[in-house]
Structure 1
């Protein structure tokens, strides 16, 4: 016999704020059944992940074409030592076909579908911690018709659409904390890492001074309101503008369902990670999501606000391995995403979403450099146009694209192949997207990001010509004779391609190829996004608060206590702006 309380799930339907359903137990069971009535107000929290943070499935036609047993295009939660080999051994052409924006969609949970295709089996990545306290994410009693478990309810909110090993901790943290603020009039102890704490503890920028949150402020926000935490994946291969349109429709639908169930739900709060910030900005822009009136505010985490030179580096040299400073899972992810330039180019050159992570015009001039013995030989862009001066540049060894890497599958575009010309058309749209959202930030925005000198990021990309080269004259016309696809190239003058050595007309001797390599990153950041890009948010003058932090790697940022505390603080500050009628 037990006397522990049995929490009853709060039911999300008309009248749920006024009634609860219990269940019969044996006489020996004396445990009281405790119901928690949902308030009439609800403020959804919508989380948008970063690039590669949403699970994708491929079309039936592409699955058949590739002769795959399943339709999984991207699902990082299943990565591990036992099954990574198949992905890392893929050819660039296979990656190109598997990660084709025209043949992929978000792997959305459908409990009515086959378990291994769209249902519980496919979304088994969602696991609920024992410590989660949520009035909504509770197992239904066994007598309830169409009974659902807490995990199934989380999956219905999209939690299984995203990289759960990376984001699950955050989703559960927000769900539990925001819906458990006070007990019998006393603030719960777990809120003491946020309430009454000077925001300087989380590195609030002094240019936007923040006041400590008080218990009364938290109580006013939380009383009579509950917070349903959703995660909406998006196809990170397609344009973030297109993703914003789809996500906007899903947010409206979720809010309509809550309203139809008898709750007051007028606006939502958006929380983003990395590329998700670009989707979030497009979400409120009239040309894309047009959701301005439904978004109360946005919390941006580690957003590459004006792009990141790492996108160039990865298409020439592959993803970085985070090493000892990073999460081991991210090390595996880097290998699967593309450990060399040809693997990454095969995907991102054909994916508008990935191209939108390149530095925009707002990033400024001179972030791509060629040096010799520390002396700069050239830098780009020079005229503020990286699209023309770098991305569409043909025939130069320092161009963004090695053209032979764009279409390794060899298919025409209508069958999943690509061309340099099509990539240039994508870049035109990228430029339009960058310009369209350049000044778009929600007026009730907060941000946190890494500005850590110990987490070097590519603030610029530097090709260094080997110091053994006595005279780099004519360097801009050299041609590649060998490329290790990881940032090192051997070069010869353009008229010497028939040999691996260039004849010296004055001496009759041959000159060996000259080596150039991409230098290691040196800018402060989070090992991916440089502080220069993230700081665009601070300099915009449109943010309510900005937290310039240290101590975390880009993908794992939401596992850092200061990032989580500043996010909770920001959410409460945004929620203070809500206006209710009931």
Structure 2
């Protein structure tokens, strides 16, 4: 990496990708000879990674700080397969949990530690190794490959670094498709990009997590400045729900210097408008190995999610649109105008979000049931609705984003359908009573149960039983967030690309390095070019 003993890059007289500087002893003869002096930059732009929901390791302060959610490996999650609803609700209580920094981390080199501190100190142990353990080292390497670039220049081997390769690589982004320029790449090599991770309590409100992020970012910047490394702003890279935390910090907490400390944000598979998958999980849990860990049925899921504002803030808000919940036999749209009252806090409809039979309190004690219900309703009204609606439409001025758009590999729920599969369909049903007076019956809590047996009132006040099935997803997306909720429409959007990627594995490597990584790298370098507008610019 080029620099001068006087001022890193102030004397840059290079052409192309070479940084060449005149040695002081040759000032008078510089037409005939020149010396190349390489120096590590002392100006820092930290890249802070925010994981998705369930992507941060958690510990419980009531059980002596024991780890309760550590995503180091698949075996490390098996303990959850033996925990029922009541135990899950107790252990995963937002008021008693906080981030556990002791997760697995790939050890750093001595040079990396000397420059930036250990990876543990930079928060890498706070996020799930299963999801991010290979991505974070890759990002750290490609953003700080100054030695590789220097060796290529000195040996003339013709090799290019990852950043240099992106000068000739078209990603086919539908918005803002521009290759990296030589000037952008060269400017990036005048700075260091230490990678940090910022885990957060994903059970708590994302607004609370954003406040904690504000404190964290100020500390990161101050720590580098105290070490004599010039640092002014950070770049945020997010996964899924981490994007909501980042946006709330940068846009809603501007009084806490949110926007002023952020140079730009790269969002990966962010549920911008929420996702009906949050409804599906609350009603019936999750299928497969994932379900055994996070909740295989409605009872297990409800025990945790009904008291956790963070996951509930992934529900579709008003901007998602109306009519995304379909019940065969019901003529009205659901929701018609307000998903919070019509679905999320509707206590009588069998298809409403929270089923009263999953309330973990004593079912024979009406007072306890009411208390738990009204506590849940307060969470929806004062933490979920306010967060979703206030954040809607707000994005950082330098926003880059990628999303999943494959309906064949990763079908998603843009709309959800309850199909009447009763052996006999009775036209005498009163549709309004189907909504208001249906009572759910079916034996036990079958894992990922997609059927409901409903006891309904007929027009003549008789009784009839019907069977409804929750239909599988069929819309394009990433398996969790549908295309319609992932695409950002904003004048602050600089670039956006749709990819065939799985939601959870959006940053993982499958075969060759996937385009989500290359898009993120290119976006980071383009955001970093904005540093020319700050006091960290070279003049």
Q: Deviations for 1:91-123, whole angstroms, at most 9, x for unmatched residues?
A: 100000000000001113xxxxxxxxxxxxx43
TM-score (norm 1): 0.76
- CA–CA separation in structure 1 for the residues paired with 2:77 and 2:200: 24
Match of 1:491 in 2: 454
Q: How far apart are the structure 1 equivalents of 2:291 and 2:505?
A: 13
Alignment deviations for residues 194-231 of structure 1 (CA, whole Å, 9 cap, x no partner): 3311131xxx11xx2321113342112222x1110000
- Which of residues 80, 83, 104 is equivalent to 1:87? 80
After superposition, the C-alpha distances for 1:152-173 in whole angstroms (9 at most, x for unaligned) are 8111111010001211221111
Q: Describe the superposition over 1:374-405 as per-residue Cα deviations: whole angstroms up to 9, x where unpaired.
A: xx64431101x100111010111111001232
1:77 is matched with: 72
User: How far did residue 487 of structure 1 move?
Assistant: 2.2
- Give the conservation status (yes or no) of the 8 Å contact 2:271–2:486: yes
Classify the secondary structure of the residue corresponding to 2:136.
helix
1:300 matched to which residue of 2? 267
1:258 aligns to 2:221 (yes or no): no
2:353 counterpart of 1:400: yes
Task: Specify whether residues 418 and 265 from structure 1 end up closer, same or farther in structure 2 by C-alpha distance, changes over 3 A only.
Answer: farther
1:320 Cα offset (Å): 3.6
1:102 aligns with 95
Structure 1 Cα separation of the partners of residues 40 and 110 of structure 2: 11
Between 466-475 and 355-364, report the one with greater CA deviation.
466-475
Distance 1:84 1:178 in 2: 32
Aligned pair partner of 2:106 in 115, 127, 130 = 127
Compared CA separation, residues 366 and 504, structure 1 to 2 (3 A): closer
Quote the Cα distance in structure 2 between the aligned partners of 1:301 and 1:544. 14
The equivalent of 1:464 in structure 2 is 419
Q: 1:192 to 1:453 in 2, by over 3 A?
A: farther
Kindly indicate whether residue 297 of structure 2 is the aligned counterpart of residue 340 of structure 1: yes
- Quote the residue 2:478 is aligned against: 526
Q: Deviations 1:503-542 (Å, cap 9, x if unpaired)?
A: 997xxxx95x31111100111000000011111x1x2232
Deviation at 1:287, TM superposition (A): 4.1
Corresponding residue SS for 2:246: helix
Cα gap change, 1:351/1:411 in structure 2, threshold over 3 Å: closer, same or farther?
Answer: farther
Distance, in Å, in 2 between the alignment partners of 1:482 and 1:107 is 39
User: Which SS does the other structure have where 2:419 is aligned?
Assistant: strand
Partner of residue 316, structure 1? 283
Label 1:84 to 1:159 Cα distance change in 2 as closer, same or farther (>3 A). Answer: closer
Alpha-carbon spacing, 1:46–1:418, altered in 2? closer, same or farther (3 Å): farther
Maintained 8 Å contact 1:302/1:534: yes
Deviation at 1:79, TM superposition (A): 3.6
Other structure's SS at 1:515 match: strand
Q: What displacement does 1:16 show? A: 13
- 1:177 and 2:142 matched: yes
- Residue in structure 2 matched with residue 55 of structure 1 by the alignment: 57
Structure 2 gaps, min length 5: 1-6, 10-36
Q: Name the CA distance, whole Å, in 1 between partners of 2:371 and 2:537.
A: 53
Shift of 1:133: 7.3
Aligned partner of residue 442 in structure 2, secondary structure: strand
Instruction: Tell me how far 1:189 sits from its aligned partner.
Output: 4.3
8 Å CA contact 1:397, 1:480 repeated in 2? yes
Query: How far apart are residue 469 of structure 1 and its match?
Result: 3.0
- Of Structure 1 and Structure 2, the greater helix share is in 2
* Aligned positions of 1:182-193 closer than 5 A: 182-184=149-151, 185=153, 188-191=160-163
Deviates more, 1:572-581 or 1:182-191: 182-191
Offset at residue 187 of structure 1 (A): 6.1
From 213, 236, 256, the counterpart of 2:202? 236
Secondary structure of the residue aligned to 1:558 is coil
Whether the 8 Å CA contact 1:93–1:408 is kept in 2: the answer is: no
Evaluate the alpha carbon distance shift between residue 299 and residue 314 of structure 1 in structure 2; reply closer, same or farther with a 3 A threshold.
same
| Paired residues of 1:93 and 1:409 also in contact (CA < 8 A) | no
Write the distance in 2 (CA, Å) between the matches of 1:133 and 1:180.
13
Matches within 5 A, 1:396-435: 396-408=349-361, 419-428=372-381, 429-435=383-389
**Correspondence 1:570 to 2:536:** no
Partner SS for 1:556? coil
The 1:56/1:418 distance shift into structure 2, 3 A limit, reads: farther
Matches of 2:457 and 2:72 in 1, distance apart?
46
Alignment length (residue pairs)? 477
CA positional deviation for 1:461? 1.5
Q: Take 1:431 and 1:489, find their aligned partners in 2: how far apart are those partners?
A: 28
1:55 CA drift (Å): 0.6
Q: Which residue of 1 aligns with 2:192?
A: 226
Comparing 475-484 with 556-565, greater Cα deviation is found at 475-484
Where 2:507 maps in the other structure, the secondary structure is: helix
Q: Give distance in 2, aligned partners of 1:453 and 1:365.
A: 22
1:396-440 deviation line (CA, Å, top 9, x unaligned): 11110012323358899xx9x971101111111211111211121
C-alpha separation in 2, matches of 1:258 and 1:161: 20
Stretch deviating more after TM superposition (257-266 or 402-411): 402-411
Alpha-carbon contact 1:134-1:176 (below 8 Å) kept:
no
- Check conservation: 1:311, 1:357, Cα contact below 8 A: yes
What is the aligned partner in structure 2 of residue 387 from structure 1? Answer: 340
1:246 equivalent in alignment to 2:246: no
> TM-score normalised to the size of structure 2?
0.82
RMSD: 3.0
Which SS does the other structure have where 1:452 is aligned? coil
Tell me, which stretches of 5 or more residues in structure 1 are unaligned?
A: 1-14, 18-34, 65-69, 109-121, 141-149, 322-330, 496-501
CA distance in 1, matches of 2:379, 2:50: 23
Measure the CA separation in 1 of the matches of 2:326 and 2:360: 27
Equivalent residue of 1:284, what SS?
A: helix
SS in 2 for 1:456: coil
Q: How far apart are residue 334 of structure 1 and its match? A: 3.0
